Amino acid sequence: MSCPFTNAVNSLLFFVGGTLGALSTAKIINRKLLSNSGGNVTEFSCTGNPQVLVAGGAGYIASHTIVCLIAEGYDVTIVDNYVNSNAESINRVRQITGCERSRIRVYECDMCDPKALENVFRTSQQFFAVIQFAGLKAVGESVAKPLLYYENNLISTFNLLRMMEKYNAPNIVFSSSATVYGDAVVPITESSPTGNGITNPYGRTKYMIEEILKDWYKAQNASKSIVTLRYFNPVGSHPSGKIGEDPSGIPNNLMPFVSQVAVGRRPHVNVFGNDYPTPDGTGVRDYIHVMDLAEGHVAALKFIEKQWIQTKQESGQYSVFNLGTGSGVSVLEMIKAMEAASGKTLKTVMAPRREGDIATCYADPSKAKNELGWTASRNLQQMCTDLWKWQSDNPQGYTSA
Ligand code: UD1
């Protein structure tokens, strides 16, 4: 059975073919890329599709990204230790895509174990690109356990980069966060200062990894492409409701908490502060549908691919993009939108400000529009409708499966 996404793959072939005519004759789902070893055409996987290593592939944003990668004719190898994710998400991704089993390979592996990670590279086809999603991400826990966060997030990334060097994986997309901007002036552009005013170790690991990637890029004589994606606030789920955000314990972020209140798992939403200098006094953020975010990763890979072909693999590029909508929405507006989507009245309780929070944060996403050809297209209503579909179909998350 072949993957039912041929239109999407055709458009990618058109994109690639437009840059390099010879490739446009490639068969559907037989996407060949030029190797970095002198211009010969090399297949990056036995299916002919470029192979992408998705580190932390069972997680929330990663699982949605994999759906888009499969639709766009990439094959995927997942590495995950399931410490904060559930293997059921991968089963659901297989259901959504309906693709051949061989197009999604899975390794249960702790990336902090260099031997285990090397086994993945040794037993796989050459990776065209790696997407680094793996890492611990709970802000409060990172304050309580800073060594765990620095150790886990940094060592797993070091091991990944070393394997990319050893096995000639040429490109990486790094999953970063708007948290690296601290309390920057809005709208935030990619040239806004980073590293100042980050309030927690989790955020600092994102900033540190960005700095490490810049140094690594220089040391590789710019031969590799690196794209850092700074996410704003991802919400929602795939419209099927089969995959979604499934935090363990009490959710830290607003919308998973709100959806658990809507489904009856929690009695009320605490609104952390109503005295901010914002129109209704509550915090303002740039919420982005997770499917838009997932599509941003595909746009980043196509951007790398284009560069790869145009320069005949002679030079890579270090690039940073904000992935956001460019609009700010308040906590109370989000709760209201979720009430409309779920048809429930949600009890709210005003609470003190949460330590480390800022009043307002939203992106200037124009660089991603101009250079990646990517914009967020889904609105607030769609974010909440899709979130509610996931939460109401899976009230206890993946554990209800
Ligand atoms: C938080 C993290 C950030 C991380 C991001 C991931 C902090 C300080 N920042 O960002 O590092 O990258 O999540 O998505 O934790 N709120 C409530 N009640 C709740 C939860 C949140 O009122 O129960 C409010 C917050 O005060 C804030 C807004 O909702 O104004 C959004 O909060 P949240 O979803 O946690 O995201 P960020 O704080 O933007």
* Spacing, Cα 155 to ligand 1 middle (Å): 26
pLDDT greater than 60 at residue 65: yes
pLDDT greater than 90 at residue 138: yes
Place of tokens 């605490």: 270
pLDDT band at 288 (very low <50, low <70, confident <90, very high): very high
Residue nearest to atom 30 of ligand 1 (CA): 283
DSSP reduced 3-state for 111? coil
Average pLDDT on 64-87 reads 97
Whole-prediction pTM: 0.91
C-beta of 182 in contact with ligand 1 (< 6 A): no
* Spacing, Cα 31 to ligand 1 middle (Å): 40
pLDDT at 147: 98
pLDDT at 338: 98
The kind and range of the H/E element at 131 are strand 129-132
At 167, list the tokens. Answer: 């096995």
Point out the least confidently predicted range of 155-164, 220-229, 280-289: 220-229
**30 compared with 168, residue with greater pLDDT:** 168
Radius of gyration of the chain from its Cα atoms, rounded to whole angstroms: 21
Q: Say how far apart CA 295 and CA 315 lie, in whole Å.
A: 25
Which of 261, 272, 330, 336 to mutate to test ligand 1, by most ligand atoms within 8 A of the CB atom?
A: 272
Average pLDDT on 119-141 reads 96
C-beta of 285 in contact with ligand 1 (< 6 A): yes
* Spacing, Cα 345 to ligand 1 middle (Å): 22
Average pLDDT on 230-237 reads 98
pLDDT band at 38 (very low <50, low <70, confident <90, very high): very low
pLDDT greater than 70 at residue 30: no
pLDDT band at 33 (very low <50, low <70, confident <90, very high): low
Residue nearest to atom 3 of ligand 1 (CA): 179
pLDDT at 31: 53
Name the percent of the chain lying above pLDDT 70: 88
Ligand 1, atom nearest to 255 Cα = 34
Place of tokens 């004759």: 25
Average pLDDT on 115-119 reads 98
pLDDT greater than 90 at residue 15: no
Q: Say how far apart CA 109 and CA 81 lie, in whole Å.
A: 5
Q: How far is CA 26 from the centre of its chain?
A: 29
Residue nearest to atom 26 of ligand 1 (CA): 272
* Spacing, Cα 293 to ligand 1 middle (Å): 18
C-beta of 31 in contact with ligand 1 (< 6 A): no
Average pLDDT on 327-340 reads 98
Average pLDDT on 164-192 reads 97
* Spacing, Cα 178 to ligand 1 middle (Å): 11
Point out the least confidently predicted range of 21-25, 84-88, 232-236, 332-336: 21-25
Residue nearest to atom 16 of ligand 1 (CA): 254
Q: Is 286 exposed, middle or buried (0-12, 13-18, 19+ CB in 10 A)?
A: buried
pLDDT at 309: 82
pLDDT at 314: 72
Ligand 1, atom nearest to 252 Cα = 35
Place of tokens 């005295």: 275
Ligand 1, atom nearest to 358 Cα = 30
C-beta of 268 in contact with ligand 1 (< 6 A): no
pLDDT at 382: 98
pLDDT at 41: 38
Catalytic residues: 202
Average pLDDT on 221-227 reads 89
CB 356 within 8 A of CB 199: yes
pLDDT band at 36 (very low <50, low <70, confident <90, very high): very low
* Spacing, Cα 96 to ligand 1 middle (Å): 30
Domains present along the chain, CATH in parentheses: 11-235+288-325+362-376 (3.40.50.720)
Give 3-state DSSP helix, strand, coil % of the chain, rounded to 5. 40, 15, 40
C-beta of 270 in contact with ligand 1 (< 6 A): yes
Ligand 1, atom nearest to 355 Cα = 8
C-beta of 315 in contact with ligand 1 (< 6 A): no
pLDDT at 316: 86
Average pLDDT on 163-179 reads 97
* Spacing, Cα 252 to ligand 1 middle (Å): 7
Name residue 77's beta-bridge partners.
53, 105
Q: 348-371 pLDDT, tens per residue? A: 999 999 999 999 999 999 999 999
Q: Say how far apart CA 81 and CA 85 lie, in whole Å.
A: 8
C-beta of 143 in contact with ligand 1 (< 6 A): no
Mean pLDDT across the chain: 89
